[in-house]
Amino acid sequence: MRRLRKDRFRPLVRETEIDVKDLICPVFVDETIKVPVKISSMPGCFSFPIDMIADEAGCIADLGIPALILFGVPGEKDETGSHAFGDNDVIQEAVRAIKSETGNDIIIMTDLCLCEYTSHGHCGIVDFETHEILNDPTLDILGKTAVSHARAGADIIAPSGMMDGMVKAIRSGLDDNGFSNTPIMSYAAKYSSAFYGPFREAAKSGFSFGDRASYQMDPANGNEAMREVALDIEEGADIIMVKPAMPYLDIIYRVKKKFKMPTAAYQVSGEYAMIKAAAQNGWIDERKAMMESLISIKRAGADMILTYFAKDAAKILNE
């Protein structure tokens, strides 16, 4: 087996390649700030004010990264997340700013959920007596929000709230409002994961009670992920996602093998932070660990990877 492992032969027999075109760059836009703010738990990542978001998108496009995904932090939060869907709210303003600056140079995906917009930090409407997250009342708001994103110019809508029936509600909302050509990338198999911790600082979306285990998936379950993905495809999802990535490589593999759909994997904030922190301590080689993590996700079957390493990895891949 060692004959072909010489440096000269390795490229010839390499089975998996990662390309800059596989990357999707998450971007945080925050209505409450005036200058870029460092996200301390995600070294190298920043939140941007609305008026600087187009420049950031331009930098990402210049690296050859084909898509970004926007997360918004609104100026005001309330119980129903009503600042998720106004035409002049943070995401809608940011999308318009990016579109007018970059045109079709980059695909604008918008994360669609209520947790950044609700005062309690949950992904849906809450019954405060029972502390239950109400599924169906949330769907109307998700549909309305998707339409507002599309109207602002979003290219792909990416619902992440794990409400049952969300893809169907969003699909019919889009279709009824003249956006039948706007694709949906569904966070189909999203696990209730401890690896989301650093993101909550960035998105200012910690929750006031409980956790998200009543709607996100149990990390112990694989077959359930197949059912979740099947439902989302049936409801009209164009791209399906597994999140997080590295602790769920088996799920990525199974999903790709079974459904053969365009499949995305989200290398989440905690996965990023672990590599960064270990590298800062001199415990691992950051560059190698980053590229190895990305190739493993690709090898498992992901067609595209949402990663906070997108810009760093693009620079290496462009070398």
Which positions are annotated as active-site residues?
190, 243
In angstroms, give the least distance from the CB of 125 to Zn ion.
Answer: 12
Residue 62 vs 79, nearer CB to Zn ion: 79
Q: Is the peptide bond before 74 cis (omega within 30 degrees of 0)?
A: no
**In sequence order, which residues have a C-beta less than 8 Å from that of residue 36 and are 6 or more positions away?**
46, 47, 48, 49, 52
In angstroms, give the least distance from the CB of 4 to Zn ion.
Answer: 46
Residue 72 vs 173, nearer CB to Zn ion: 72
Range list of β-strands (E), 36-177:
37-38, 46-48, 67-73, 107-112, 125-127, 132-134, 156-159
Does 84 bind Zn ion (CB under 5 A)? Our answer is no
Residue 121 vs 183, nearer CB to Zn ion: 121
Range list of β-strands (E), the chain:
23-30, 37-38, 46-48, 67-73, 107-112, 125-127, 132-134, 156-159, 185-190, 239-243, 263-267, 304-307
Could you tell me the end-to-end alpha-carbon distance of the chain, in angstroms, rounded to an integer? 30
Contact 122, 212 (CB under 8 A): yes
Say which residue the tokens 């390795």 belong to. Answer: 10
In angstroms, give the least distance from the CB of 271 to Zn ion.
Answer: 18
Residue 294 vs 306, nearer CB to Zn ion: 306
| Site residue total, Zn ion (CB under 5 A) | 4
Rule CB under 5 A: which of 238-267 touch Zn ion?
A: none
Rule CB under 5 A: which of 136-175 touch Zn ion?
A: 161
Rule CB under 5 A: which of 104-123 touch Zn ion?
A: 113, 115, 123
In angstroms, give the least distance from the CB of 114 to Zn ion.
Answer: 6
* Cα(111)–Cα(105) distance, integer angstroms: 19
Rule CB under 5 A: which of 193-212 touch Zn ion?
A: none
Cα dihedral 193, 195, 197, 199 sign: negative
In angstroms, give the least distance from the CB of 109 to Zn ion.
Answer: 15
Residue 123 vs 189, nearer CB to Zn ion: 123
Contact 249, 297 (CB under 8 A): yes
In angstroms, give the least distance from the CB of 300 to Zn ion.
Answer: 25
Q: What is the DSSP string of 260-285?
A: ---EEEEE-HHHHHHHHHHHHTTSS-
Residue 68 vs 123, nearer CB to Zn ion: 123
**SS3 label, residue 43:** coil
Contact 184, 170 (CB under 8 A): yes
Instruction: Tell me which residues touch Zn ion (CB under 5 A).
Output: 113, 115, 123, 161
